[in-house]
Amino acid sequence: MFSIQSRLKLLFVVIVTVVLAISGTWSQRSLERELEGSYQRLRYGVLTRLQISLPSALWDLDKTKVDDIVEAELLPPEVTAIRVYDSSVGLFAGTMRAPDGTLVPVAAPALAPKGDVSAVLTLQNGAGGGAPVKVGTVVVSFSRAGIDAALSSQMMRKIIEVLLLDVVLILALSLSLRVVFAPLQQLRERLFELATRGTGEVEELPEQRRDELGEVIRGFNMIQRRLKSTIVRIREAEDTALRASKEAALALDDLRQTQESLMEAERLASLGSLVAGVAHEINTPVGITLTSASVLKEATDKIQAAVANGGLKKSEIMGYLDTASESATLIMNNAYRAAHLIHSFKQIAVDQASEERRRFGLGEYIGEIISSLQPKLKKGALKLHLDCPVDIVLDSYPGAFAQVVTNLLLNCVDHAFKADVSGQIRIGARVVGEQVEVYVDDDGLGIPPNVLERVFDPFFTTRRGQGGTGLGLNIVYNLVVKQFGGAIAVSSTPGEGTRFTLCIPRVTPVQERKADTAAARAHSVNAVRSHSVSAARAQAPETVDNEWDGT
């Protein structure tokens, strides 16, 4: 791992190396310019002196003087060889520097030593005041080895200085950074232990230091202690939450059982209310039948007494026949009425008390449900209209369907209209593919928007404390969606009325296949919300169009 300590060392080494390299390059350039200037000045001086001193000696063919002049100019180490040529003789004199530094004469014409730079100078003699005369040529060889050696030596010294400074810097940084990174290493190890082991197994760091790192260590120890206390509180909270979760699960089970009990009680309560209403409704025709039978028996006793006394008159016989005929008519009519009520109640009660599945005609069955609810409808001046085709047959659960229609009608009676206010309730049905669309609407008070979205919630009621349980429409929703595999929607405009629209399959799917009807239910909801009652009536074939009122 490339640690921070290594990166700091590398950074400082790079910075120092770059700075010293720039400084060394500048010094090298300065030295090179200085040596180059000295070299050029030396070369110019040698050539100038030879230009002045050699022509006269060469004109006089004074070899000794020429050799002395040449040896004098060979004193600087940069001058490696001087060869003097006479215009007529050729090589006149010459001296060169041997590899060991000694001066030796040049015996024959030779090239300049390898690496040297030669300068050719023409010698002219202007003595006697005439035109200058060429007397010879001098070739001077200069060496740059000294300059190159000085530059190389300077560069080597700078490189050695950089390396030494880098080594010293690395050693100094290693010693100084250890003071900082040794405590940080301990802190890092404790952090890893704290992350991978239990907080109770990690020991606190010593707090003897009184510098900035000591403050960091004390802060770490404080964090560790606080973390330990926080973990303890979290574990206690987890235990509490676990206990609360178990208690909540038990409470939820109790609540579900209670809800199921209340829903069953609500269904039985509606059946009990139906029983009470039908019993009250049957009491009238039965009472009339009993009264008529009593009147008929009294008239029969009188006619029997008259026959026994032998004083039977024609007027008495005619009066008896009128009374008997009227009484028999009343008895028959009221007995038929009571029998019809008993038949409707018996069918509805049996269906609601059982979960048996069978085929039934939708219009006829809704009519029986309405007949059994007449006592409830008589409480207000309500008129009920049924618009249902006679050929709609369902293969479903009639008891659950009766529960749905009963709850919807009772919901209209209890919530849609004020007491002693007239109104209308309409029930209609039509076939949409393999679905049956049933609607129940009224022209009552309507439902406020803030209540509309909650009407199917369990235990939600606007008549809390007035007998409302909030389970009626929730039972309707559960039966339609879960038992029939259908959908239900509600729409309402305050002051104009409410419509409940059901869309259920003509053949209720079995329990295992209800999951396969999700798409059909979604399509049904769209159909429920997009068609009006007028369209239903326009497309319906022969219908049962009955009207019940509360009179």
Q: Is 219 exposed, middle or buried (0-12, 13-18, 19+ CB in 10 A)?
A: exposed
CB 289 within 8 A of CB 335: yes
Planar angle of CA 200, 203, 208, nearest 5 degrees: 150
pLDDT at position 487 over 90: yes
Gap between the Cα atoms of 138 and 91, Å rounded: 9
Q: What percent of the chain has pLDDT over 70?
A: 74
Q: Is residue 246 part of a domain?
A: no
451, part of any domain: yes
- Residue 462 resides in a domain: yes
- Dihedral class, residue 447 (left if φ above 0, else alpha if ψ from -120 to 50, else beta): beta
CATH code (residue 70): 3.30.450
Distances (CA, A) of 41 to 46, 69, 123, 175: 9, 19, 20, 52
Over the Cα atoms of the chain, what is R_g?
64
- At 529 the pLDDT is 40
Question: Region 22-30: what's the mean pLDDT?
Answer: 87
Tokens describing residue 435: 């679905």
Domain boundary among 122, 150, 166: 166
Degrees to nearest 5, angle at CA 543 with 524 and 429: 20
Q: Tell me the average pLDDT across 17-32.
A: 87
What pTM was estimated for this model as a whole? 0.40
Given a contact cutoff of 8 angstroms between Cβ atoms, the answer to whether 388 and 538 are in contact is no
CB atoms within 10 A of CB 270: 19
Is pLDDT above 60 for 350?
Answer: no
Nearest to 411 by CA among 450, 344, 463: 463
Helix (H, G, I), strand (E, B) or coil at 319: helix
pLDDT, position 465? 52
Residue 349 resides in a domain: no
Q: Are strands 133-142 and 79-86 parallel, antiparallel or unpaired?
A: antiparallel
Task: Report the CATH number that the domain containing residue 455 is assigned in CATH.
Answer: 3.30.565.10
503 in a domain, yes or no?
yes
Among the listed ranges 53-67, 106-120, 205-219, 239-253, which one has the minimum average pLDDT value? 106-120
pLDDT score of 30 more than 50: yes
Residue 29, domain member (yes or no): yes
Q: In this structure, what token pair is assigned to residue 469?
A: 């349980």
In the predicted model, is pLDDT for residue 545 greater than 70? Answer: no
Residue 126's domain spans which residues? 4-166
- Please check whether residue 320 is in contact with residue 299, taking contact to mean a CB–CB distance below 8 angstroms: yes
Last residue of a domain, one of 166, 192, 222: 166
Band the pLDDT of 305: cuts 50, 70, 90.
Answer: confident
Q: pLDDT tens, 78-98? A: 888 888 888 777 788 888 888
Asked which of 166, 196, 228 is the last residue of a domain, the reply is: 166
Q: At what angle do helices 4-59 and 63-73 cross, to 10 degrees?
A: 170
- Integer distance in angstroms from the first to the last C-alpha of the chain? 97
Q: How many domains does the chain have?
A: 2
Task: Answer for the pair 416, 444: CB distance below 8 angstroms, yes or no.
Answer: yes
| Structure confidence at residue 219 (pLDDT) | 78
Q: Does any domain span residue 545?
A: yes
- Asked whether the CA dihedral 339, 340, 342, 346 is positive or negative, the reply is positive
Determine, yes or no, domain membership for 387: yes
